[in-house]
Chain A
Amino acid sequence: MAIKLKKNGEFTYASHTGLVSDLERKTADRIYEELQESIFSLEKSLLKRKLLTKSGRKIDALRIWFEFGRLLGQVADKYNIIGTQDEEFFWQSIYDHTSSIVQKGPMPKRSRNWKQNHFRLCFLMAKNRNWENVKSIGNWSIWREIFDNKKILEDERLFNWTVDKIAKLRKEGLGHKKIRPLLYEISKRFKRIDTNLLSEEELTIKLQNIKMRKYTESNDFWEKLN
Chain B
Amino acid sequence: MAQFTQPQNQERDLQAIMEGYEGKIGHKYWLSEAFQKDAIQNSWDARIDNKRGKNWSFKLFYFSNSQVYPSILGFVDSGTYGLTGIIPRNEKEAVIALKRKEKEKERLAYFLSSNWSNKPKSAIGSRGRGKMTFIGASKHKAIYFDSMRSDDKQYVFGRIFLDKDKAIKVEIDSGEIANKKRERIFKNVIPPFLNSGTRVLLFDPRKEIIEAITNGEIEQLIQHTWWEILHKYQAKIEIEIDGKNRLISPPPFLPIEKLGINEIYNSGPIELEENSKLRIKNISLCYLGDKDIPEHYKGLAIQVHGMVVERLKIENLISEPIGNKIYGAVTFDKLLEEKMADCEGPEHCDILWTRSPANRTRNKLKYIIRKFAEKYKLIEEQSTYVSKKQRAVEIVTQNDLNKLAKTLSLIGTTSSRRTRTGKERSAIEKLRLSIADFRTPYENGRADRSQSVEGTYVIPINEYSTSLIVLVKAYIFLQKNGKVIKYVEKELRIPEEQIKVGWPEIKIDKSFERGGYTFRAEMRSLEEKKISKEIFYEKGELIYHPVSRTFYVEEDPPEKGFFKIESRATKDKRKFIWIEEGDKEYVLCYNRLHPTIDSILKVKEWEKLLRDLLFKEGSYFAYGIRLAEDKTLIEEGEEPLIFTKEEMESDDFQTLLKHVAFRRSSYLWDFR
Chain A contact residues, CB within 8 Å of chain B: 112-113, 192-198, 202, 206
Contact A202–B539 (Cβ < 8 Å): yes
Q: Please tell me if the beta carbons of A197 and B482 are within 8 angstroms of each other in the complex.
A: no
In the bound complex, residues from chain A placing their C-beta under 8 Å from that of B481 are 112
**Nearest B residue to A194, CB-CB:** B540
Q: Is the CB of B526 within 8 A of A197?
A: yes
As a 0/1 sequence over residues 91 to 120 of chain B, the CB contacts with chain A under 8 angstroms (1 = contact) are 000000000000000000000000000000
Q: Is the CB of A193 within 8 A of B482?
A: no
Complex interface bits, B471-509 against A, C-beta within 8 A gives 1, otherwise 0: 100000000011000000000000000000000000000
User: With the chains together, A202 CA to B541 CA distance in Å?
Assistant: 13
Residue in B closest to A197 when the chains form the complex, CB atoms: B540
State the CA gap A110–B524 with chains docked (Å): 27
**Complex contacts, B540 vs chain A, CB 8 Å:** 193-198
Query: Measured between C-beta atoms, what is the minimum distance from A90 to chain B in Å?
Result: 15
- Can you name the residue of chain B whose Cβ is closest to the Cβ of A155? B540
For window 497-532 of chain B, which residues contact chain A by CB distance below 8 Å?
524, 526
| Contact in complex: A194, B526 (CB < 8 Å) | no
B542 at the interface (CB under 8 A from A): yes
**Does B374 interact with chain A (Cβ within 8 Å)?**
no
- Does chain A have a CB within 8 A of B463? no
Q: Is the interface of B mostly helix, strand, loop or mixed?
A: loop
**In the assembled complex, B635 has its CB within 8 A of some CB on chain A:** no
Interface residues of B (CB under 8 A from A): 471, 481-482, 524, 526, 538-542
Q: Are A192 and B471 in contact (CB under 8 A)?
A: no
Instruction: Across the interface, name the chain B residue whose C-beta is closest to A193.
Output: B540
Question: What separation, in Å, do the CA atoms of A113 and B481 have in the docked complex?
Answer: 8
Q: Is B482's CB under 8 angstroms from A113's CB?
A: yes
Q: Which residues of B contact A198 (CB under 8 A)?
A: 539-540
A193-B541, A194-B524 known; 10 new pairs, CB 8 Å cut-off, are A192-B541, A192-B542, A193-B539, A194-B540, A194-B542, A197-B524, A197-B526, A197-B540, A198-B539, A206-B538
Set of chain A residues within 8 Å of B526, measured between Cβ atoms? 197
Q: In whole Å, how far is B249's beta carbon from the nearest beta carbon of chain A?
A: 36
Separation of A30 and B482 alpha carbons in the complex (Å): 28
Measured in the bound complex, the distance between the Cα atoms of B477 and A113 in whole Å is: 14
Query: For residue A112, which residues in chain B have a CB less than 8 angstroms away from its CB?
Result: 481
What's the least CB distance linking A204 to chain B, in Å?
13
Contacting pair B539 A197 (CB below 8 A): yes
Q: Are A193 and B542 in contact (CB under 8 A)?
A: yes
13 CB-based A-B contacts, threshold 8 Å: A112-B481, A113-B482, A192-B541, A192-B542, A193-B538, A194-B524, A194-B540, A194-B542, A196-B540, A197-B471, A197-B526, A198-B540, A202-B539
Give chain B residues whose Cβ lies under 8 Å from the Cβ of A196: 540
Chain A nearest CB: distance from B5 CB in Å?
58
- State the Cβ distance, B617 to closest chain A Cβ, in Å: 41
Interchain nearest-CB distance for A55 vs B (Å) = 23
Query: Which residue from chain A places its CB closest to the CB of B482 in the assembled complex?
Result: A113
Closest residue on chain B to residue A16 by CB atoms? B483
A198 to B471, CA, bound (A): 13
In Å, the complex CA distance between A197 and B526 comes to 8
* A206 vs B524: C-alpha distance when bound (angstroms): 17
Which chain B residues border A206 with CB–CB below 8 Å?
A: 538
How far apart sit A113 and B480, CA to CA, in the bound complex (Å)?
Answer: 11
Shortest C-beta distance, A18 to chain B (Å), equals 8
- In angstroms, Cα B540 to Cα A206, docked, is 12
